[in-house]
Amino acid sequence: MIKFIHSSDLHLGKAFGLFPRDVQVRLRQARADVLPRLAALAKDHAASHILLAGDTFDQTTPAPSVIRQALNMMRVADHVTWVLMPGNHDHANATELWRQAAQDAPPNVVLQLKPEPYVLTANVTLLPAPSTERNPGRDLTEWFDSAATSETLRVGLAHGSVTDFNASEDGASSIIAPDRARRAGLSYLGLGDWHGQLQIGPETWYSGAPEADGFKHAQTPSVLLVEIAGKTAPAIVTSLPTGTINWQRATLDLTGVADCSAMHKAMLPPLPDRAMTLFDLLITGRVGPLARVALEQAIAKVKPDFLWHRTDWTGLGLVHDTADLDAIDRQGALRATAEVLANESADDTLSPEARKTAQAALSHLFSFALEE
């Protein structure tokens, strides 16, 4: 009876300021490229609608170019109807955004700014619950229960976290009832806000973001193809991968590891994927200075393979024995310096900051001494 694509959290216009300029451009472009990909999927799967469950835009006042280019992209994909609903990032009170969107929207774009039933097709009514504010503080889907939609099939669209969650994606409180679909007689409730794909109930789904924007969720970014044959038929939900950038956060725990470099090598993504991978490496445990130097060199070697690579060494402690210090020198001032710094880094009477500085100084000493 109806086939549509459910997606959310495109966060068009997100800045990604933490990253270098070149990476930032790549990430922004990847998000913009999601729209034609969705259109293509809709075409491939003969979906009539693409329902975006909030946070299509990252801000309440995105740059006009972001709005215009998104709408232009939708205009081109006129084989499908785009249904846009405000989320907490682009809430309905973002009057300027939605005023401009309303002004520039092509005929195949529908804005759902009010909690009113909307006739998707002759037999399908959409019940939208647009976010009114950044933190609405109430369950905006409550009206679904009593919404009059005659005998049509009911599809709900909302943005926020269900009560099972402690918080939404960005920490805002939200309280969508997890059994809202059942209580409101919905054939399907499409949710947005959670960037990872997640099924809450038989007919309740978070589509997740079609392109990742952080290291939080491990699964491949996807959209949901939803097919509902009739009012009493169950919704058939298919996940379709859409992500192009791989956000990978990995922890390398070196406690008790003999060959650190080998372990590091084993955890790396395949070579062809690295150019599209943001690799955030957290190193923990304790190793000897020689092993650390070797690891540093190994990481430095593979770092250029990645779109972006970061190593967090703060979780890694240094252990050293006589053999380690011998690598610097067996005697003399250089050895004495290493011993002084090693003692300082383990001296509990010193401040943590001083110990940390001594440890870093010792690491430098190892690096410089072993550069031959």
Partner 1 sequence: MKLLALHLTNVRKFTGKRASIAGISDGITVVSEANEFGKSTFFDAIYALFFEKFSSSAKSVKSLQPYAGGAVEVAADVETEDGSFRVEKRFLSRKAAKISRLPDGAVVAQDDEAERWISSLLGSASEGPAGLLWVRQGLVGLEPDSAKEKSQLMETRRDLLSSVAGEIDAMTGGRRMDRVMRRVADSLGEITTKTGRKTGAWKATSDEVGVLEAEFNSVTTQVQALDKALTDRRQAEASLKRLDNADAKARRGDAFAAAKDAMDQAHAYAGAVTTARQDCDLAGLKAKSSETELDAFLKAIETLQTAEKQARDSSDEANEANQWANRLKTALDKARNVHKNAIDAVAETRRQLNVSRHQIAARKAKAEATHLESQITKAEIALGERDVARAIAKASLATPEWFRQAELAQGEVSKCNAAVEAQVTTLRMAYDGTARITQNGAIVPADQHITLDGETLFDLPGIGRMAIHAQAVGEEGRARLATAKGSLKNILSQAGASTLLEARTLAAARAEAETKAHLAQAVLDTLAPNGTEAMRAAKADADLAATGAHESELPAIASLETHLTQAEQAEEKARGLLSSTDVEHASARETSIKLRAAAETAERALEQAKADAGPEETRDSRRAERLRLQLQSQQALTEAEAELQALITAAPDLDTAKAGLKRAEDAVNAAVQERAQVSERLAALSSEIRTLAGNGIEERRDELAGHLEAANAAEAQFAQQVAALTRLQSALDAERDAARDTYFGPVQEELKPLLSILHRDAALSFDSDSLLPSGLLRDHAEETLDDLSGGTKEQIAILTRLAFARLFARQGRHMPIILDDALVYSDDDRIIKMFTALTRVAQGQQIIVFSCRQLAFQDLGGARPKIEVVDV
Stretch that binds partner 1, among 109-117, 136-144, 292-300, 330-338 (CB under 8 A): 330-338
CA pair distance 154, 369, nearest whole angstrom: 71
How far apart (Å, rounded) are the C-alpha atoms in residues 223 and 240?
5
Instruction: Return the number of the residue (23 or 175) whose C-beta is nearest partner 1.
Output: 23
CA–CA dist 318, 292 (Å, integer): 8
**Residue 297 is a binding residue for partner 1 (CB under 8 A):** no
Residue 33 DSSP SS3: coil
Stretch that binds partner 1, among 175-183, 251-259, 290-298, 328-336 (CB under 8 A): 328-336
Task: Output the smallest distance, CB 289 to partner 1, in A.
Answer: 13
According to CB under 8 A, which one of 7, 8, 56, 60 is a site residue for partner 1? 60
What does the DSSP 8-state code read for residue 234? P
Of 10-18, 101-109, 122-130, 181-189, the window that binds partner 1 (rule: CB under 8 A) is: 10-18
**Among 97, 113, 157, 225, interactor with partner 1 by CB under 8 A:** 97
The phi and psi torsions of 2 (rounded to 5 degrees) equal -150, 145
Cα 90 from Cα 13, distance rounded (Å): 11
Query: Which residue of 1, 257, 263, 361 would you call a contact of partner 1, by CB under 8 A?
Result: 361
360 binding partner 1? (CB under 8 A): yes
Residue bearing tokens 């005929």: 107
Q: 204 or 359, CB closer to partner 1? A: 359
Task: Check: CB of residue 254 under 8 Å from CB of residue 285.
Answer: yes
Q: Judged by CB under 8 A, does residue 101 bind partner 1?
A: no
Phi and psi at residue 150, to the nearest 5°: 50, -130
d(CA 188, CA 226): 8
96, two tokens:
């300027």
| Residue 115, helix vs strand vs coil | coil
Pick the closer one to partner 1 by CB: 75 or 310: 310
Q: Does 211 bind partner 1 (CB under 8 A)?
A: no
88 binds partner 1 (CB under 8 A): no
Footprint on this chain of partner 1 (rule: CB under 8 A): 13-19, 24, 58-66, 93-97, 100, 329, 331-337, 340-341, 356-358, 360-365, 368-369, 371-372
